[in-house]
Amino acid sequence: MPPLLPLLALFYGRLGDSRLAEFEAVAQRLGAPAVDWTWNPRILAGNGGDIGPSVVQPLPALAEPDHGWLGDTAARAVACRGVFEIWGAGDSVEACAAAAATLPAAYIRARIRSSWRVDSVVLGARRSQHPGDLGARMSVFGHVLDALKVRQVDLTSPMFRLWLVEDRRSLADEGPLPDPPPIYHLLFQLSSGRPPIQDTVRLLDLRKRAFLSTSSMPADRALLLCNLALANAPSSDAGLLDPYCGSGGTLLAAAALGAWTVGSDLDWRLVSDNRVPIRIPTSANRPGRGVEAVRMRDNFDEAGLPPPAALLTLDVGAPDAASRLLAGSGGRLYDALVCDPPYGRREFQQGAEGWAGELTFKVDEAALVATLLTLLGLARATLRPGGRLVFLAPVRSPRDASKPDLEALRGALKRGGLARNLHLVHIGVEAMHSGLHRAVVVMERTQGSAI
């Protein structure tokens, strides 16, 4: 019987602690077996913020040696770099190689069945602190290399990958982890036949889009929110609504994930079927831009994706908002509602280096809660049971005490959701910079009347 090796996942050090919830949501939509996800909270607290570069999380022990679905999940989760079997670990390269030498050669060849390569990854430092190059470091893994002599090395497009990971993370603003993990790991990356979602991130890059607004959502964040929202959705013919769609970044991401979409916005220019003159920000891929006659659907045409089924000019707070949005879907309840509500004012998004010491806006907590309750009521009226509501909300940060703290927001959402047939599934925080923290909220529609 093949050995049951420990597994770990390597995440990008960005997108906040919702990266783990996204991984679970993608696994759920792919039909993965039921897993008791038990992430290590100490690693999440000490090394899980947006100061990266990577976050290592052990995965729960699984009973079966075939973990192909985990490779598929990693390929389709925006925040995950990969899922790996641990073939060796130690505080020196030699100790790591000695651990790897206990693996049967037949098992190594069974896992790496064709072309392969080794990648060197250093976490928390620019370069390895080992005096030798990658070849010198790998030379001590004689047992593994001997087992793979019958397999072709392909440095360009291999079918299988080994990673030699050196963990040198030492964050200036965090204490060291208790029981720190070994410094060196030899990891076997679980492969996938599914297209990697990072290809989609590049396809939908903001700099490539014909149609933009001043607050267009980056592709990686939009895809993560849609992955969170589509956990319970069918693999095909899922419907996603964004009632604050702006220039359509969320709708574009949802279409790339196979959903049909409907969007609305208060600004008629953003949702018009006609190309209207609008000021477009300049980008590296499209320099010299200015006032251009473009429309949101141009982004879908250029990416080769189906355009929204309907785009509406709509005030979400209007009494007929829900009925109009359901008319846009042909009367079907939606599987997901994803949005970044404006909360009445534009957020400060120039980064910490642009901070001038003055807040560009303040959020009245009562007004914020009122806006969220309107959104929750819309979700109750437009989502099917099991459908998910995912949205962003401002929360208190070290340099902005005007916003509600996370626990106050959590309490308001639980109370508001209980009265509107919505259950709070997840709330995490993205630390954009010291003056802007945002909560990522996931709620699920429960059984009950939509009215």
**Residue 197 clears pLDDT 50, i.e. is over it:** yes
Phi–psi pair at 346, nearest 5 degrees: -75, 140
pLDDT at 273 over 60: yes
Identify the pLDDT of residue 173.
38
Non-local (6+) Cβ contacts of 302 within 8 A are 208, 209, 210
First CA to last CA distance, the chain: 56
- 305, two tokens: 């994706």
Domain borders along the chain are 7-194, 202-445
pLDDT > 90 in the chain, percent: 57
Radius of gyration of the chain, Cα coordinates, nearest whole angstrom? 24
Grade residue 315 by pLDDT with cuts at 50, 70 and 90: very high
pLDDT at 52: 38
Task: Provide mean pLDDT across the span 139-157.
Answer: 96
pLDDT for 130 equals 74
On whether the CB atoms of residues 264 and 271 are closer than 8 A, the answer is yes
Secondary structure of the chain as H, E, C letters: CCCCCCEEEEEECCCCCHHHHHHHHHHHHCCCCCCCCCCCHHHHHHHCCCCCCEEEEECCCCCCCCCHHHHHHHHHCCCEEEEEEEEEEECCHHHHHHHHCCCCHHHHHHHCCCCEEEEEEEECCCCCCCCCCHHHHHCCCHHHHHHCCCCCECCCCCCEEEEEEEECCCCCCCCCCCCCCCCEEEEEECCCCCCCHHHHHHHCCHHHCCCCCCCCCCHHHHHHHHHHHCCCCCCCCCEEEECCCCCCHHHHHHHHCCCEEEEEECCHHHHCCCCEEEECCCCCCCCCCCEEEECCHHHHHHHCCCCCCEEEECCCCCCCHHHHHHHHCCCCCEEEEEECCCCCCCCCCCCHHHCCCCCCCCCCHHHHHHHHHHHHHHHHHHEEEEEEEEEEEEECECCECCCCCHHHHHHHHHHHHHCCCEEEEEEEEEEEECCEEEEEEEEEECCCCCC
pLDDT of 46: 40
Q: Which CATH architecture has domain 202-445?
A: 3-Layer(aba) Sandwich (3.40)
304 Cβ neighbours under 8 A, 6+ residues apart: none
Q: Note if the bond before 404 is cis, omega within 30 degrees.
A: no
| Mean pLDDT estimate for the chain | 85
**Among candidate residues 63, 80, 62, the one with its CA nearest the CA of residue 26:** 80
Q: What CA–CA distance (Å, rounded) separates 103 from 88?
A: 9
Q: What is the pLDDT of residue 347?
A: 40
Q: How far is the C-alpha of 359 from the C-alpha of 348, rounded, in Å?
A: 8
* Greatest distance between any 2 Cα atoms in the chain: 71
Q: What are phi and psi of 268, to 5 degrees?
A: -60, -25
- Give the other-Cβ count within 10 Å of 408's Cβ: 15
CB 264, CB 338: distance < 8 Å: no
Cα within 13 Å of Cα(382), Cβ side: 31
pLDDT at 275 over 50: yes
What local confidence, expressed as pLDDT, does residue 75 receive?
96
Q: Shortest CA distance to 168 belongs to which of 159, 156, 177?
A: 177
pLDDT digits (tens, 9 = 90+) for 66-109: 678 999 999 999 999 999 999 999 999 999 999 999 999 999 99
Nearest Cα neighbor of 190 from 25, 7, 1, 2 is 7
Q: How far apart are CA 192 and CA 95, in angstroms?
A: 30
Tokens 């985990």 appear where? 70
**pLDDT, tens digit, 9 for 90 and up, residues 107-125:** 999 999 999 999 988 876 6
Q: Give pLDDT tens digits for 1-58.
A: 566 788 888 888 776 778 889 999 999 999 988 888 877 665 544 443 333 345 667 7
Measured between alpha carbons, how far is 285 from 304 in angstroms, rounded to an integer? 18
Query: What kind of architecture, by CATH, is found in domain 7-194?
Result: 2-Layer Sandwich (3.30)
In angstroms, rounded to a whole number, what is the distance separating the alpha carbons of residues 338 and 388?
A: 8
pLDDT digits (tens, 9 = 90+) for 378-412: 999 999 999 999 999 988 888 888 788 899 999 99
pLDDT at 251: 98
Of all residues in the chain, the percent with pLDDT exceeding 70 is 83
Q: Which amino acid, 232?
A: N
Structure token digits, residue 250 = 């969320």
**Closest C-alpha among 96, 171, 158 to residue 130:** 96
